[in-house]
Amino acid sequence: MTAPTFILSPSLLSADFSRLADELAALEEAGLTWVHLDVMDGQFVPNITFGPPVIASMRRKSRLYFDTHLMIERPERYLSAFRDAGSDLICVHAEATVHLERAVAEIARLGAAPAVALNPATPLSMVEYLLPQLDMVLVMTVNPGFGGQSFIPFTMDKIKALAAMRRERDLSFRIQVDGGVSPDNTAALVAAGADVLVSGSAFFGHPPYKERLDVFHAAAATRAT
């Protein structure tokens, strides 16, 4: 049996913000292809991080795939700003807008990959009609706002249910998981159907990055517990 494959998208929230260009270069050097950018507005979530100007500056320093997770109220106000800044994928929360289909269509029209995130308590039904339009669904495995929180166990069933929906409807969107992801739950997450694993503290807290990436890949090849 071949080892299951997944993309690791390191959450820059746990990187050293005073050395962003160096951190991005170190990720590329270590063989990473994606980077997860957590945008927080102090409204949708209690925390505040960064916005389009910082992303535009990083874009000039990096060829990584910019996986942009917008934890902001009414994200439709800023979609073109994030696309202009250089986001490759733009993920909006289903809970953050009353016009989710319009936001998804707008992301696609701007030429970015559209994705929708669901908080742990938000049912899959919020997104099921939109699945054919999506490149990715982000199943939050913690309540968003901070790095370093513990994985919420019931979200594992949600990932499995979403993967079953994808199979039954013969769709090809990616399933991303975010929050409390570590080598300890990597095998179970990949077995459940996750294709993109976001990791902040369990990745950046353990340099060098190449070795840490190898640890995640080795974990995926073990049997899920």
What are the catalytic residues? Answer: 38, 178
> Judged by CB under 5 A, does residue 67 bind Zn ion?
no
Q: Which residue number, 201 or 224, has a Cβ lying nearer to Zn ion?
A: 201
Listed residue (204, 128, 145, 210) closest to 179, CA to CA: 145
Q: How far is the CB of 38 from Zn ion (least distance, A)?
A: 4
Alpha helices in the chain (DSSP H): 20-29, 52-59, 79-85, 100-109, 155-168, 183-192, 201-204, 209-220
Q: Which of 45, 178, 187, 216 binds Zn ion (CB under 5 A)?
A: 178
With beta carbons less than 8 A apart as the criterion, state whether 199 and 11 touch: yes
Residues 13, 147 contacting (CB under 8 angstroms): yes
Q: Is 38 in the site for Zn ion (CB under 5 A)?
A: yes
Q: Which is nearer to Zn ion, 47 or 57 (CB)?
A: 47
Listed in sequence order, the residues at least 6 apart from 195 whose beta carbon sits closer than 8 Å to its beta carbon are 6, 7, 174, 175, 176
Residue where the block lists tokens 């050097």: 29
Output 45 or 79, the one with its CB closest to ligand DX5. Answer: 45
Closest separation in Å from C-beta 170 to ligand DX5:
30
**Which partner, Zn ion, ligand DX5, none, binds residue 145 by CB below 5 to 8 Å per kind?**
ligand DX5
Of ligand DX5, Zn ion, none, which one does residue 94 interact with (CB within 5 to 8 Å by kind)?
none
Task: State which amino acid sits at residue 214.
Answer: D
Asked if 69 is part of the footprint of Zn ion (rule: CB under 5 A), the reply reads yes
Contact by Cβ (8 Å): 126, 160: no
If the CB atoms of residues 73 and 224 are measured against Zn ion, the closer one turns out to be 73
Binding residues (CB under 6 A) for ligand DX5: these are 11, 13-14, 36, 38, 69, 142, 144-149, 178-181, 198-202
Q: Which residue type occupies 37?
A: L
- Type of residue at 134: L
Q: Which residues bind Zn ion (CB under 5 A)?
A: 38, 69, 178
